[in-house]
Every structure is written in C-alpha cells, then in structure tokens.
Amino acid sequence: MSIQQRIEEAKESGKFLRGDPITGDRYYSKEFAQKEWDGVFARTWQIGGMAAQLAKPGSTMTQNIGAESILMTSDEDGTIRAFYNVCPHRGNRLVADDGKCGVKRMVCAYHSWTFSLDGVVRHVRDAEDYPQGNPIGKMKLKEIRCESLGGLVWFNMDPNAPSLRDYLGVVADQLEAYQTANWTRVNWMTGLVECNWKIIHDNFNEAYHILSLHRELGTFIDDAYQNTEFELYKNGHNVMKMKGHLPSANSRVNVVQAPLDAILREWDLDPAAFEGRVRDTRVALQQQKRALGPARGHKHYEGVSDAQLTDYHHFTIFPNTTLTMASDFFQVLRPLPHPSDPEKCLFDHWVMMPPVEGRDEVDTPTGKRKYEPAPHETFLHGEASIGFVADQDLSVAVAQQLGLHSRGYQDAYLSGQEDRVRRLHEVINDYIAGRR
C-alpha cells in the first residue's frame, strides 16, 4: 500500500467530533491537570532531544516534562536508553544539566553512588553496610521506553505503549520523507509562559488567527482555509497542509512582496515577472528548486513531493507536539506542562535545518546563526524573543488564560477550520477515560 493509500485509510470519516465542551477548568484546575498527567502524558510518546546529542558513545541528555526529568544516554556501544533521572538511593535528581559527551560514569552529587551509562550502580561507598544487600550491580535507574525517528530521540513512560512507529502511524511515513536524520538544531529555546500548555497547543491547531496575529505571513503563506488541507487521523494526530511561497488568497495583492521577492531571486527568478500573476510563484519555485536544488547541495529534496518543496505541513502529534515541516527547515513547537502549576507551561521552540554544502550561516527565527548545534536558551516569556511568529502567538496567551476563568465563558464556539482544536480535547478525554 502506498503512503497516500495509507493516509486515506487512516483518516477519520466525515463528522466525527462529539462536541465535548472545552470548559475553562481544563486550563486551570489542578485536579484536571493531574488526570492529564496520569492519563495522557505518562502514556504518550514525547521528543527527548536530538539524536545528534547522543551520537557519540558516552553521551547524556535530559528533558524535563511536568515534574519529571528524563535522562537519555548512549553507552560505550552507542546503545541509546532512557531513564527517570532520579537516584535510587535517596531520590536526588541524578544529572543536573542538559547533558554532555565523553561521559564514562554518572555520579550522584549527594552520596556519590556511581552509575554506568546502562543505568546500573557500579560504585557505592561502604557497600558492605547495606543489610538488604550490596547495591553494586543490583540497583539501577528505572528505565523507560526509548526510540529514535527523524533525527530525534523519543521516550514513553508507559511500558505497555505501542512502538513509536505504531503510535505515529502514517505520520511517521510523512515525516521520514523529509529525510531529517542529519539536520542540525540551530535554535533551541525554552520559555516559561503564564498559561496552560493547551492554550499554546490550541493555537497551533488552527490557522484562523493568522490574519489577526501574523498579518505579514500573508505575503508568502496562503492561510485561506478553502485552499488548505486538513487531515485528522484516527490515532489522534493530524496535519494541516498550507500552501506556501505565494501570497494568501485573503491578501488580494498582485505584486510580489518581501520576503517572497528575495526567495525568488535566490532561485534565479525575477519577482517583476510575476506582476498580475503572483500566485504563480509557488509552482515556479517548485520547478526551480527541483531543477537547481540538487546541484546547489539540497540533496534531501529527492524525498519530498513538489508541494512539499514550497508548502508548510503542520503535524500535530498527540498530545502536545507540533512539527512544522518544510523542505528547508522544520520546527518543534511544544508546550510542556509545568511541574506544579496548570496556569504555567514551558514552551519549547526548536528549529532544525538540513546540511547544505558550503553552508556556514543560516537565517533563523531569532536572526542569523552559525550552522552548528545551538546552545539551550531558557528564559521567562517576554524577556527575550522566542521567534517573532511564536512571540505573536504568545501575545494573546496570557489574556486568554485570564479569560478562561470567567463565569462568562462556557465553551468555545468553533469554526470548521478549528476542528482540530476540539479534536485535541476529545482525544484527551478519551485517554483520561481509558477509551484509548
């Protein structure tokens, strides 16, 4: 069966939304957040980091999610594993940083229990003084599921979860077409935002707000829902396929505007030649990228369709991960639940770019950067930019968090193009109720 046939088979049929209300308490109730943690986050696949961080044997990396920290390691043989980042002696968090290379042993800062990268205790002081038995070689870190896909390492706290590939279903095939295994993360940012994680994720589940919050994107992205494909899959994931590299059907301009003009020139096309037929730029660019791309070092273009050369495919992976896929970059946009406060979240924004011969500098959402793995930047929302489009999205997040407390709000009143918003909440309800 071809990918396209599998996609068709995996899609939901016709009217599937039940209309579960999206009530305000879902965004601030501690009780609901606990149900979400147990029913959803403890059972679903999450991205833990870049496979490149563990490429060298003897590497570690960590990812915080809710109150947990997950530790991922590659041992001397390059085997990748994931563990709860907690010392089994007295519960100290074992690795305190984002991770490093050239690691032989992991030593707990409290009483110096020492672990090999496979999570087994290898050295303990006064090992004979344990009436219940010497912990060396016996005690180990609690291991969880761990797999790699698309240059990313994923973990799942549920021992009974399906494999990552089964969990993602047709989404995995579609992501792999971009051949991202060796792409580099050029932006790695995490902002603490004063809103529930779903406020941000709801935003990524619709493009209805583009004309209001991101007007300038209309110069090169067609946000009109009539021209956008929405695919909602039975497994709870979905994709929104937006046409790119042409002005929006909502914008009604007939000359090429920035930044599309520069992109056309970069591909040896004259912006002036498209006057009066600006919506032809998309196909012209597809042809040009196809013809010139490989010789310019864009080897990965082989794997993608003509549409993917210009368009933006936003995959929303249940519960909280958005991957915006394009032929020249992809982004992880992910709000994570806060350790203790449902009215806060940690918002990850990563940008990955492919290797292209001769590339040493790239344009990223936070300006020009060297083409090399970015350091992890963490900050409070508002103290620094998390990318200008994401900043615009976050500009309404705190006000919405406040509004959802109001007695005047009962449920969202959604347009058809916002189906994916209600869908997220219904799948959350399914997980909490044990229907999935």
Nearer to Fe ion, 231 or 393 (CB): 393
Which one of ligand FES, Fe ion, none interacts with residue 90, CB within 5 to 8 A by kind?
ligand FES
For position 227 contacting ligand FES by CB under 6 A, the verdict is no
> Which sign does the torsion angle of CA 213, 219, 220, 225 carry?
positive
* Residues 381, 401 contacting (CB under 8 angstroms): no
Residue bearing tokens 């009217």: 15
Q: With CB cut-offs between 5 and 8 Å by kind, which of Fe ion, ligand FES, none does residue 417 bind?
A: none
Does residue number 234 form part of the binding site for ligand FES (CB under 6 A)? no
Query: DSSP string spanning 146-210?
Result: EEEETTEEEEES-TTPPPHHHHHTHHHHHHHTT--TT-EEEEEEEEEESS-HHHHHHHHT--TTH
Is 138 near ligand FES (CB under 6 A)?
Answer: no
CA dihedral 122, 127, 132, 136 (to 10 degrees): 10
- What are 191's strand-pairing partners? 347, 379
Closest contact distance (angstroms) between CB of 108 and ligand FES is: 3
The site partner of 393 among ligand FES, Fe ion, none (C-beta below 5 to 8 Å per kind) is Fe ion
Alpha carbons 314 and 125: distance in angstroms, whole number: 52
Compute the distance between CA of residue 20 and CA of residue 427 in angstroms, rounded to an integer: 10
Q: Which two tokens stand for residue 259?
A: 């930044």
Residue 140 sits in the site that holds ligand FES (CB under 6 A): no
Least distance in angstroms from the C-beta of 142 to Fe ion: 38
Residues 193, 394 contacting (CB under 8 angstroms)? yes
How many other CB atoms sit within 10 Å of the CB of residue 69?
A: 18
Which of the choices Fe ion, ligand FES, none does residue 113 contact, using the CB cut-off of 5 to 8 A by kind?
A: ligand FES
For Fe ion, the binding residues (CB under 5 A) are 393
- Interaction of residue 108 with ligand FES, rule CB under 6 A: yes
Binder of ligand FES out of 110, 379, 388, 409 (CB under 6 A): 110
What residues between 71 and 90 interact with ligand FES by CB under 6 A? 87, 89-90
CB 207 → Fe ion: shortest distance, Å?
A: 7
Which of Fe ion, ligand FES, none interacts with 92 (beta carbon under 5 to 8 A by kind)? ligand FES
Residue whose CB is nearest to Fe ion in the complex, by number: 393
95 touches ligand FES by CB under 6 A: no
Containing H/E element for 80? strand 80-84
Pairing of strands 68-74, 80-84: antiparallel
> 108 vs 326, which CB is nearer to ligand FES?
108
Q: Provide, rounded to whole angstroms, the least separation between the CB of residue 390 and Fe ion.
A: 8
Site residues for ligand FES per CB under 6 A: 87, 89-90, 92, 108, 110-111, 113
